[in-house]
């Protein structure tokens, strides 16, 4: 069962998956373990994550562990049709295509949810929302799920607090081996990859405005500085703003930054971060993009309303002419620029995030009865999984670290010496 754009594209997709597989040593080792242990034998897994090569390899690893996979994307622009075709060629069930309309996107989410999954792997809550709202009769067969991203987790915690979350969800994003690397170094690199390959302009010397100085924002600002930009940070959290100042950045309100910026990147998880007030103050030629979860950080709908002309300025860049003649440009429709205009995080980064996903999914299958008895339905990734991923990654990269002696351990755990 599948619904993809073109099955004949599978060879190109296979090459992409083979390439990332070479660079995902953790997942390769987990694949070997899963082939032997078959932790997902008889288990249906529904997955909604950006459907490009690294995600495809995660799907193959879960399938190698015995899972019956039902796969869709997590953003209409990040699905790569050749990658989807390669998975279908390997016998996995895929429902996704690049550029899906909102109706098609929802139909594809519904297709994987209605397969009746036991485990859900979500990226922003699309699967969890649909099963709760439209397929409540399938909730009882769900052992639990994993959530990939910050915004998804904020929503799960709110649902859990309201006692509306009906099965256990593991907060993958909050594992140290996820957010410290994926959100910071992954977003830091892939956002600039997306911007640079789409605009083909110089970053050095530009005023780059980064909205949000969380884990992602820190990475985006750090790499902008490395490329020679003059970086301005906007924040709403005074502590994060001080961090930005001490990291050497200028901090100001968006209304002031709007006048100075040549290139804007929002990465807050909030909405309406750049709106009409800012558009009206921007220099002609300013380029805007978003790397946060939803496409509501840059108010593209508002920009469309005030623009007198809209045109395709370059592939994946929309131009908007204002009544006073200024031109503003938006990359990738204001959707995550690293995925809507690039291949997302590098393989070595997704190796860590997806190792956490794979091991957490196996943990859910093993522990679901005990988890179901807990009142709270949100679970942190067990520390052993986080540590195991870090240990293996270091080993595969050829680094060794020290180990505490018994005496040192005693010293660190006592208050008397």
Q: Which residues bind ligand NAD (CB under 6 A)?
A: 149-151, 179, 182-183, 187, 211-217, 234-237, 240, 267-270, 273, 291-293, 336, 338
Torsion (CA) 6, 10, 11, 13 in degrees, nearest 10? 110
- State the DSSP code for 164: -
- Between 109 and 340, CB nearer to ligand NAD: 340
Six token digits for residue 294 = 């939803």
Place of tokens 């496409």: 295
3-state secondary structure at position 114: coil
- Between 100 and 290, CB nearer to ligand NAD: 290
- Between 274 and 349, CB nearer to ligand SAH: 349
| Binder of residue 236, out of ligand SAH, ligand NAD, none (CB less than 5 to 8 A by kind) | ligand NAD
| Binder of residue 212, out of ligand NAD, ligand SAH, none (CB less than 5 to 8 A by kind) | ligand NAD
Give Rg (Cα) of the chain.
22
Q: Are 360 and 354 in contact (CB under 8 A)?
A: no
Strand partners, 209: 232, 264
Taking alpha carbons only, the member of 85, 98, 94, 83 closest to residue 20 is: 83
| Binder of residue 68, out of ligand SAH, ligand NAD, none (CB less than 5 to 8 A by kind) | none
- Between 177 and 282, CB nearer to ligand SAH: 177
Nearest to ligand SAH by Cβ — which residue? 344
Taking alpha carbons only, the member of 152, 167, 178 closest to residue 352 is: 178
Q: Are 286 and 329 in contact (CB under 8 A)?
A: yes
To ligand NAD, the closest distance from the beta carbon of 270 in angstroms equals 3
Positive/negative CA dihedral, 85, 114, 292, 179: negative
To ligand SAH, the closest distance from the beta carbon of 357 in angstroms equals 9
Contact positions vs ligand SAH (CB under 6 A):
49-50, 52, 54-55, 74-75, 123-124, 148-149, 173, 182, 186, 293, 336, 339, 343-345, 350, 353
To ligand SAH, the closest distance from the beta carbon of 158 in angstroms equals 17
| Binder of residue 350, out of ligand SAH, ligand NAD, none (CB less than 5 to 8 A by kind) | ligand SAH
To ligand SAH, the closest distance from the beta carbon of 53 in angstroms equals 8
Nearest to ligand NAD by Cβ — which residue? 214
| Binder of residue 261, out of ligand SAH, ligand NAD, none (CB less than 5 to 8 A by kind) | none
Place of tokens 């390669």: 86
To ligand SAH, the closest distance from the beta carbon of 413 in angstroms equals 35
Question: Using CA atoms, how far apart are residues 255 and 126, in angstroms rounded to an integer?
Answer: 33
Q: How far is CA 67 from CA 56, 145, 181, 223, in A?
A: 14, 14, 27, 38
- Between 172 and 303, CB nearer to ligand SAH: 172
- Between 25 and 290, CB nearer to ligand NAD: 290
To ligand NAD, the closest distance from the beta carbon of 187 in angstroms equals 5
Place of tokens 């540590």: 387
Length of the chain: 417
- Between 131 and 341, CB nearer to ligand NAD: 341
- Residue 345 CA, distance from chain mean position: 8
| Binder of residue 235, out of ligand NAD, ligand SAH, none (CB less than 5 to 8 A by kind) | ligand NAD
């Amino acid at each position: 069962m599948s619904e993809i754009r073109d099955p004949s594209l599978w060879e190109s997709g296979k090459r992409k998956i083979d390439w990332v597989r070479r660079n995902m040593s953790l997942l390769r080792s987990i694949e070997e373990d899963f082939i032997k242990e078959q932790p997902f034998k008889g288990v249906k897994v529904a997955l909604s994550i950006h459907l490009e090569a690294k995600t495809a390899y995660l799907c193959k690893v879960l399938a190698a562990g015995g899972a019956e996979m039902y796969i869709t994307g997590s953003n209409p622009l990040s699905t790569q049709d050749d990658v989807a075709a390669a998975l279908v060629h390997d016998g996995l069930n895929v429902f996704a295509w690049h550029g899906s309309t909102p109706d098609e996107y929802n139909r594809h989410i519904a297709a994987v949810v209605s397969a009746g999954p036991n485990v859900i792997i979500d990226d922003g809550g699309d699967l969890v929302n649909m099963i709760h709202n439209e397929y409540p009769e399938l909730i009882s067969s769900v052992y639990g799920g994993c959530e990939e991203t910050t915004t998804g987790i904020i929503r799960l915690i709110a649902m859990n607090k309201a006692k509306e979350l009906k099965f256990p969800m593991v907060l993958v994003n909050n594992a140290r081996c996820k957010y410290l690397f994926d959100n910071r170094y992954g977003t830091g690199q892939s956002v600039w990859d997306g911007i640079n390959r789409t605009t083909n302009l110089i970053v050095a010397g530009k005023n780059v405005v980064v909205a949000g100085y969380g884990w992602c924002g820190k990475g985006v600002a750090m790499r902008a500085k490395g490329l020679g930009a003059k970086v301005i940070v906007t924040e709403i959290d005074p502590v994060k703003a001080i961090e930005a100042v001490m990291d050497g950045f200028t901090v100001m309100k968006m209304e002031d930054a709007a006048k100075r910026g040549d290139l804007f990147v929002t990465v807050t998880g909030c909405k309406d971060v750049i709106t009409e007030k800012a558009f009206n103050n921007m220099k002609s030629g300013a380029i805007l993009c978003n790397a946060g979860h939803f496409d509501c950080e840059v108010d593209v709908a508002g920009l469309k309303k005030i623009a007198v002309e809209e045109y395709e300025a370059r592939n994946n860049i929309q131009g908007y002419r204002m009544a006073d003649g200024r031109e503003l440009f938006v990359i990738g429709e204001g959707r995550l620029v690293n995925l809507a205009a690039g291949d997302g995080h590098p393989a070595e980064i997704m190796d860590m995030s997806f190792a956490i996903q794979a091991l957490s999914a196996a943990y859910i299958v093993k522990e679901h009865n005990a988890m179901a008895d807990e009142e709270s339905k949100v679970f942190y990734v067990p520390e052993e999984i986080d540590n195991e991923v870090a240990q293996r990654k270091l080993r595969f990269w050829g680094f060794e670290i020290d180990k505490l002696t018994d005496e040192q351990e005693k010293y660190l755990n006592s208050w008397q010496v």
